[in-house]
Chains A and B, each alone.
Chain A
């Protein structure tokens, strides 16, 4: 099926007039997303941010084909989200690392390869590579419960990258980590993206995290969930000084204002509309 093969021109993700209604047709119907148009270029890092209930996770789950759009189209590398899932075109990581506790770190990383019947030797080679990349080469024989939360999340990221996907979907992967670990993981994630060249859709509720990581920050608002603004971020090469950069702060301010809806809203109103968003 050569027509379905990804071509370099295809965007990593392309969503057109996407709508998602839960319990559609019933009295309790909830419109989780409406009128979503979004394109993510190959290699681009896009964050989704917004208060609870704005549909950012739902948007990610539509791309992952864990939910099906009620209307509109979701294309991943030019094919349907469903086909992309069957072809394993994306890797995914959730807030909970979701490692299988009875498997070693290595066996967890190899899980997707094992399911694809990749031969043992090739699997081992790949897991060696991946564990080295996330800095856990010495822990390949450990069990998940022996690792810290940050290390578990690194294993989950290595697992998501196992099949060399060109798209990485991440749903608040650092949400449960402490601030220090979180910042280190952000830098590591950027280094990994640099190496693998994969596009990333990253759901978060931390503004600095979104700004630090992204090429574009997609700001969403609830009831019904929709995209209100897309803030481009151009910080160039990130390093530890980036977080203290004037450009970083102005981008943080831009996202914060986008979340408030208007630049001059009163502080009181702002805090009520952006509940659930981390304004640090």
Chain B
């Protein structure tokens, strides 16, 4: 990275972020905004350091749910996409179902699943995350698998390769960038849905339940502190997915979707 790129990619957003926080602090102090309306960054910062241990613990709980749910959703999506490619009829049946699942708001599902399973279980949240993560991965994988360079297809035909060999040698590796693209989208959604799912009762272990309980105790700065934790968690997931994607598609040209 040249100095100019470092300035543009790193320094600029950091400076902007610091200025934004300063402006926020000034606005709250000068205009005497009541704390229940908008706590100042310094008040939120205090809460973060005061509750550091619990923030890490609750972020870990939510993060674990998000990760397990994400993995379940990804595996299910990959299986469904590969099976769907083999059996076109199944794909025609699965596609609208997947769309219906994607259109279903998690707010509608969370309370139902919480009742279905015991309130002391993390399972309903993981299921919700899995359902949310399923769709983007399923759609991008189907797209990746169905796209095959005609020259590669003819080549495999000329080698008298069967459809499984073509899938293994050409389609699956060709779909890799698409799959990881879907996983990157799903990773962010996983954290959001893991946190939001906690708003609807059940186990009081994660960031989402901390936010609701702090807010209902009018401890708004503390609620914001957990919101910060949720943001950091989301970023960690996004960056991890991005890193895995880069790793999996390294050495390729600009053929990524």
Contact = CB atoms under 8 A, between A and B. Distances in A.
Q: A and B bound?
A: yes
B123 to A, nearest CB: 37
A145 B173 contact: no
A101 B253 contact: yes
B242 interface: no
Contact of B173 (A64, A66, A102, A112): A102
Contact of B154 (A90, A94, A114, A115): A94
A113 to B, nearest CB: 10
Given A85-B158, A111-B169, A115-B169, A102 B151 contact: no
A156 to B, nearest CB: 9
Nearest to A144: B253
State the majority secondary structure of interface residues on B. Answer: helix
Contacts of B251: 102, 143, 145
B147 to A, nearest CB: 13
Contacts of A94: 151, 154-155
State the majority secondary structure of interface residues on A. Answer: loop
Interface in A145-180: 145
B161 A115 contact: yes
Interface string A112-133: 1011000000000000000000
B253 A66 contact: no
A66 B151 contact: no
A101 B252 contact: yes
A186 interface: no
B165 A145 contact: no
A92 B158 contact: yes
A4 interface: no
A96 interface: yes
What bracket does the count of chain B residues touching chain A fall in? Answer: 20 to 34
Contacts of A263: none
A66 B169 contact: no
B143 interface: no
Nearest to A91: B158
Interface residues of A, number: 21
Nearest to B254: A145
Contacts of A112: 159
B46 interface: no
Interface in A205-248: none
B158 A115 contact: no
- In this complex, the member of A66, A94, A101, A143 whose beta carbon has the largest number of chain B beta carbons within 10 angstroms is A101
A116 B35 CA distance: 72
A114 B157 CA distance: 15
Contacts of B174: 102
B158 A98 contact: no
A100 interface: yes
A88 interface: yes
B152 A102 contact: no
B255 A101 contact: yes
Given A96-B151, A100-B170, A102-B176, A88 B160 contact: yes
Interface in B228-257: 251-253, 255
Interface in A73-105: 85-86, 88, 90, 92, 94, 96, 98, 100-103
Given A88-B159, A103-B173, 11 more contacts: A66-B154, A85-B158, A85-B160, A94-B151, A96-B151, A98-B151, A100-B170, A101-B252, A102-B176, A102-B251, A102-B252
15 contacts: A65-B158, A66-B157, A85-B158, A88-B159, A94-B155, A98-B152, A98-B155, A100-B152, A100-B169, A101-B252, A102-B173, A111-B159, A115-B169, A145-B251, A145-B253
Interface of A: 64-66, 85-86, 88, 90, 92, 94, 96, 98, 100-103, 111-112, 114-115, 143, 145
